[in-house]
Amino acid sequence: MDQLQPSPQLFFETATAYQKSAAIKGAVELELFTSIAEGNHTVTEIAHRCSATERGIRILCDYLVIIGFLTKSGDKYDLTPDSAVFLNKHSPAYLGNVTDFILSPMLSDSFSDIATTVKTGTSIIKDGGTVAPENPIWIKFAKAMLPMMVPVAKQMLEKLKHLFPQYLTQKIKVLDVAAGHGIYGITLARQNANAEVVALDWASVLQVACENAERFGVTTCYTTIAGNAFEVDLGKDYDIILLPNFLHHFDQETCINFLKKVATALKSEGKVLTIEFVPNEDRVTPPPTAAFAFVMLASTASGDAYTFVQYQEMFTKAGFSQNEIHYLPLSPQSMIISQK
């Protein structure tokens, strides 16, 4: 059997990948995709709508065709199905604002010297990296990531409907740790009129969560705790404690100590719902999930993408006796349900 000849293609594609990031960021800022969705298809039309030069628009549009975000027929450009859904500002599924977070200098700069990061085993961003106290990056996260998290929150709700339908009708008390945009707790509150939701995060981030609570009509059952999750009084007697995308920022011992605090705040029959990137035991599959460990290496002092076995060990040491993992379709994340 003939073997494929070695090729430098992957190397060059990877070494120049920043160009794709720059192109998509620029196109979003120019509202280029929205322009095309509004009926502007030629270079002249798009350039006028985007207040840009025709030379710039022509070259950028051609590049976006090359990398798969646009199509071209003659002198006219059009959106791909993905671009039409996720990059047109008139679409309810618009994700363009996500670039404000994932391409923010605070996050991208943490990847600027990976050799040093690997040597030291920690982020080159000092004072805790992205988990530094009151880090403004989480305001960007809360504002930008809501559209991406809404489908995940809905899948969480569907799992609860199947596994614990009582939580969607009876009176319950919910703590949303590192609430950010708040959509996980808000989704529960929208479904269950008898739910009391407490959102925990930095005060500046909670402003975003409260705005979303008002937007979705759940302010009457929505309260907050401002401060450091490791230091504040969590309260007690919660039926559900939500841990969305929180534990991966810290080393295992720190997670265990925090989970002990969570166990104390939880009712004896309560549930902890942990939404996380949980790779398989080989730590390289599935690729989008397993690759998240690299993000944690670059951006935190000691975080990681933990396997389910590792989460089981952490929860067990914190006093939990049952842990189940539920995969969320169409998402790189999973939900772990834990109880004492």
Residue 132's pLDDT band (cuts 50, 70, 90): low
Q: State pLDDT tens for residues 17-68.
A: 999 999 999 999 999 999 999 999 999 999 999 999 999 999 999 999 999 9
Residue 275's pLDDT band (cuts 50, 70, 90): very high
Question: Rounded to an integer, what distance in angstroms lies between the CA atom of residue 257 and that of residue 321?
Answer: 16
Which residues have C-beta within 8 Å of that of residue 213, sequence separation ≥ 6? Answer: 182, 186, 189, 197, 199, 219, 222
Mean pLDDT, residues 119-139 taken together? 75
Which residues have C-beta within 8 Å of that of residue 281, sequence separation ≥ 6? Answer: 307, 309
Domains of the chain: 9-94 (1.10.10.10), 120-339 (3.40.50.150)
Place of tokens 């809360």: 142
Report whether pLDDT(204) > 70. yes
Question: What pLDDT shows up at residue 42?
Answer: 98
Mean pLDDT, residues 216-232 taken together? 96
Q: State pLDDT tens for residues 170-200.
A: 999 999 999 999 999 999 999 999 999 999 9
Share of the chain above pLDDT 70, in %: 96
Mean pLDDT, residues 130-150 taken together? 75
Report whether pLDDT(1) > 80. no
Phi, psi of 97 (to 5 degrees): -65, -15
Question: What pLDDT shows up at residue 106?
Answer: 81
Report whether pLDDT(255) > 70. yes
Residue 318's pLDDT band (cuts 50, 70, 90): very high
User: Considering the chain, what is the average pLDDT of its residues?
Assistant: 94
Residue 134's pLDDT band (cuts 50, 70, 90): low
Question: Rounded to an integer, what distance in angstroms lies between the CA atom of residue 105 and that of residue 126?
Answer: 14
